[in-house]
Amino acid sequence: MSLDLLAEVVTSPTPDVEYGQLSPMLIVFGVSVVGVLIEAFLPRRGRAATQLALSLGGLVAAFVAVVLLARDIDPPGSVGKFVVAGAVAIDGPTLFMQGTILLIAILSILLIAERGGEAFTYQASAVPGSVAELEATKAGVAQTEVFPLTMLAVGGMLLFPASNDLLTMFVALEVLSLPLYVMCGLARRKRLLSQEAALKYFLLGAFSSAFFLYGVALLYGYAGTVDLPGIAEAIKAAEGSESLALVGLGLLTVGLLFKVGAVPFHSWIPDVYEGAPTPITAFMAAATKIAAFGATLRIFYVAVPDLRLDWRPVMWGIAILTMVVGAIMAVTQTDVKRMLAYSSVAHAGFILTGVVAANTAGLSATMFYLFAYGFSTLGAFAIVSLVRDSSGEVTEMARWAGIGRRSPLFGVIFALFLLALAGIPLTSGFVSKFAVFQAAAEGGAAPLVIVGVASSAVAAYFYVRVIVLMFFAEPPDDPGEVIAASPLTTAAIGIGAAVTVVLGILPQPIFDLADRAAQFLI
């Protein structure tokens, strides 16, 4: 019997790997591997520029690959294809999410490189092998390893929304999470807070991954497959006996909601966002949310659409809690990074209204929201990284008083990002919220829209409070000062501000792109 089994394994056909369809992910993973080799073999003095050029080149090449793949599936009637024996789906939502993640990653690399630039200047002045070099390394200054870690995380984020089976999705979840745990602990000026943030993120992330994996096991036991369309077929054929599937879906949802930062799985966000290096916080706040919502949409729209009568009420409650708790808690904050962290929680609730819509308009509006939100929140955190004193970044809100009068350009741009996050007209935030609320109303979730509008009004208060503080309050005795931004940070902030304004005035091209992409391959 064993010989027959061995013969069957040997003669079974090897699944085809469509390398062209996987090219964006393969490029990013390849760059991360090369980055690790650079860390191992290249002298320390030359690592910074090499890693920066390699990372930017790889991300741009991956984005070009996404555009070329999108052109292949653009004709009407062609929605994409399954690859790697059906484990990965290359369709409109996949490519839209991947393109957005790559654009955010490019800007994030620019921010990370500037933080490294300070360290590398210091490191270059230290004599190799000297006490100064040893102390710099111990203090976390020699941090060029952050580039391959970032690329590994980006690779996992590209695979997460593209996964067409639960095991591939779990692998992608771990690949994007593990580098982030390490990157959160790299803040050299506040090492204890940063290490505490990394430990909290790791422990809570491990628990959420365990819930996710347990949900995968239950869904496999129910459907006999981890393939998302296969699970949908099993549910359709079950004729009312979906108890095990609902329990598995609930556990699976815990892991997904942890990543998006929805209540009650949000407790890690303020501590991690505050303790992590600000460029890493910007990257996590924007890119991780895009990838996690991409996977969430694929689960609810592809695997369990026939259970919408069961999961929609639960998601209603979670969306309401997330919007209300995020908005109320943000009002009480005295630290800018923690305020933006709770703002991120509130925005997770707003985006969930698009998921709850459970229609094509909801899918399109959610993708547009993620695109717009990514640039606004990354730009906001990039601005925060510029306010410093002799000991490092200044995030206490009281020390930002009057900073808009001392540095008008800084104040105006930060106010733009805050107004966009508040959803003020003529910014990308207003168009995004209008789109998801309209889709939710069309999907029969009008009460959820009312709660969303009320939460937006509360959120507008704490955003405007910061603007008033910057321009109209008297500065304290020890105010934070805005440092001169490097060309890299200037480029990241400028692009984020430009996208925020353009999407507020001329959103239709991205809307049309999201509409064309809003069709999952089933």
Domain-wise residue ranges, the chain:
12-517
387: β partners:
482
Enumerate residues 6+ apart whose C-beta is below 8 A from 274.
193, 197, 335, 337, 338, 341, 395
Residue matched to tokens 């592809």? 302
Is pTM beyond 0.85? Reply is: yes
Structure tokens, 115 = 């933080």
Q: What is the pLDDT of residue 308?
A: 86
> What's the pLDDT tens digit per position in 52-97?
999 999 999 999 999 999 887 655 445 678 888 888 999 889 999 9
Give the 3-state DSSP-derived string for 35-90, with helices as H, strands as E and coil as C.
Answer: HHHHHHHCCHHHHHHHHHHHHHHHHHHHHHHHHHHHHHCCCCCCCEEEECCCCEEE
* 3-state helix, strand and coil shares in percent for the chain, rounded to the nearest 5: 75, 5, 20
Q: What is the pLDDT of residue 97?
A: 95
Q: What is the pLDDT of residue 195?
A: 86
Cα 357 to Cα 53: distance, rounded to the nearest angstrom? 42
Structure tokens, 19 = 């390398």
Q: What is the pLDDT of residue 174?
A: 94
pLDDT over threshold 60, residue 519: yes
Cα 366 to Cα 349: distance, rounded to the nearest angstrom? 11
> What's the pLDDT tens digit per position in 354-403?
999 888 898 999 999 999 999 999 999 999 988 887 777 888 888 888 88
Q: Sign of the C-alpha dihedral, residues 384, 60, 57, 148?
A: positive
Cα 164 to Cα 158: distance, rounded to the nearest angstrom? 13
The share of the chain scoring above pLDDT 70, in percent, equals 89
Q: Sign of the C-alpha dihedral, residues 309, 314, 315, 321?
A: positive
Structure tokens, 522 = 């089933």
> What's the pLDDT tens digit per position in 270-284?
999 988 999 999 999
Buried b (16+ CB within 10 A) or exposed e, 132-143: ebeebeeebbbb
Q: What is the mean pLDDT of the chain?
A: 86
> What's the pLDDT tens digit per position in 415-464?
999 999 998 999 999 999 999 999 999 888 888 899 999 999 998 898 99
> Three-class SS of residue 388?
strand
Q: Give which of 34, 64, 61, 28 is closest to 50, Cα–Cα.
A: 34
Q: Which is it for strands 88-91 and 387-389: parallel, antiparallel or unpaired? A: unpaired
Q: What is the pLDDT of residue 74?
A: 52
> What's the pLDDT tens digit per position in 281-310?
999 999 999 999 999 999 999 988 888 888
Contact 455, 329 (CB under 8 A): no
Structure tokens, 469 = 């503080």
Q: What is the pLDDT of residue 258?
A: 93
Helix axes 336-357, 268-275, angle to 10 degrees: 130
**Rg of the Cα trace of the chain?**
23
The pLDDT confidence band at residue 491, using thresholds 50, 70 and 90, is very high
Q: What is the pLDDT of residue 380?
A: 93
Average pLDDT estimate for 338-353: 94
DSSP per residue, 108-155: HHHHHHHHHHHHHHHHHHSPTTSHHHHHHHHTT---TTHHHHHHHHHH
Residue type, 402: G
pLDDT over threshold 60, residue 11: no
Cα 181 to Cα 201: distance, rounded to the nearest angstrom? 6
User: Could you tell me the CA-to-CA distances from 326 to 286, 415, 442 in Å, in that order?
Assistant: 17, 20, 25
